[in-house]
Amino acid sequence: MNLNAYAAEKRLRIFEELKKGASPSEGAYDEKLLREARGKSQPQMGATRYEPNTIVLEFIYPDPRSSTLVLEVRLAAPERIVFMSVPTWVIEQIWQGEITGSYHFESEANRLLEAFRADLAEDANQKHFGPQSPTRRG
């Protein structure tokens, strides 16, 4: 099962538990915040975020009379999560939304692949987690 399917399965199961008034059957969360949220409204699904070893599921409890609460349920990932950035050779060859690839000498292709593999290393990959600044291509 891939990461998106795994996270979706967990999110749906925990969402159903929360809708029934139960506590999440797994993961870490703020008990006090959950008690407060139950007094507001029914939960809504929020975002799913990833950290290198954690899946963070957000459940939103809206309240038109006061502030909305967001309950985070933090699940330990069964293996390390990595961000796989789009390689530069793909970015350079997008034409009218179609990604086709690009041509390179074999030596350059090997250098590009090594740079891509290096980005999967734990320290190098960490930069892809958390808030991201917008990028511009010039």
Mean of all residue pLDDT scores within the chain: 88
Q: How far apart are CA 97 and CA 108, in angstroms?
A: 25
Q: Tens digit of pLDDT per residue, the chain (138 long)?
A: 899 999 999 999 999 999 999 999 999 999 999 999 998 889 999 999 999 999 999 999 998 788 899 999 999 999 999 988 777 777 666 666 777 777 678 888 888 899 999 999 999 999 889 887 776 655
Instruction: Delimit the domains of the chain by residue range.
Output: 3-76, 88-128
Q: How far apart are CA 51 and CA 37, in angstroms?
A: 25
Q: Which tokens sit at 12? A: 């749906």
pLDDT digits (tens, 9 = 90+) for 106-121: 888 888 899 999 999 9
Q: What are the φ and ψ backbone dihedral angles of 35, each rounded to 5 degrees?
A: -60, -45
Query: Which DSSP symbol is given to 52?
Result: T
Q: What is the pTM of this model?
A: 0.81
